[in-house]
Amino acid sequence: MDTDNQELLRERLIIFTRYPEPGKTKTRMIPALGASGAAALQRQMTEHTMSETRELKAWRSLSVEVHFNGGSQQLMQEWLGSEFVYRKQREGDLGIRMTAAFEASFAAGMTRVVIIGTDCPDLNAKLMSQALQALAEHDLVLGPARDGGYYLIGLRRLFPELFRGISWGTSEVRQKTLEIAKNLNLEIAQLSPLSDVDRPEDLWVVSNFNWSRFN
């Protein structure tokens, strides 16, 4: 096995998601879709993300972990399949949870680690692959979300400062992260900007979905 292939085998994709239980997921969508509709949206967007992940695995030799809230490991496996590793997310804010995920992956010997969510339907296997490839020459890769956050973050070693002092869920997340990264003199790569689906006004992004499932 050559060095490049050994490097590929040390890549990891981590997907942050939540078990789609009505009333406990996509709660900001409930006024527009109802509790069951919001959960159905979460379910469909996660299934779409996992479909793109399976396509990525056909191209690259990487490990995949699903870090979840709600439900249980058994429920997650029954829903999304047994080919993935499932881990409960750490308690705390998003920064604490991402720091823990990166820390565990690098401790396990990973050399390129990317974290994504399931709120961005336009995030496809090609973009995920581009992110992993960018880590060959960059310390940090970000997928800019049009709301000011990011839909993807990748590192080749942990920089915990990137996750401290951030007001998560605000329009300043990406800019603050970039400021910290520049202060650390990191080499930064950015992907194409995409739109997240967080609030009812974002539903146009998923207008191609089967809306009868959300009624």
CB 98 within 8 A of CB 89: no
Fold that domain 3-207 belongs to in CATH: Spore Coat Polysaccharide Biosynthesis Protein SpsA; Chain A (3.90.550)
- Residue 59: predicted pLDDT: 87
Q: Model-level pTM? A: 0.91
Residues 6 or more apart whose Cβ sits within 8 Å of residue 79: 19, 43, 71
Q: How far is CA 186 from its chain centroid?
A: 21
- Residue 18: predicted pLDDT: 95
- Write out the chain's pLDDT in tens, 215 residues: 344 444 445 899 999 999 999 989 888 888 888 999 889 999 999 999 999 999 999 989 899 999 999 999 999 999 999 999 999 999 999 999 999 999 999 999 999 999 999 999 999 999 999 999 999 999 999 999 998 999 999 999 999 999 999 999 899 999 999 999 999 999 999 999 998 877 777 776 666 554 444 44
Residues 6 or more apart whose Cβ sits within 8 Å of residue 3: none
Element (H, E) at 189: strand 188-190
- Residue 107: predicted pLDDT: 96
Distance in Å from the first CA to the final CA of the chain: 52
Residue found under tokens 């509790």: 35
- Residue 214: predicted pLDDT: 43
d(CA 141, CA 134): 7
- Residue 211: predicted pLDDT: 40
CB 50 within 8 A of CB 68: no
Kindly list the domain boundaries of the chain, sorted by start residue.
Answer: 3-207
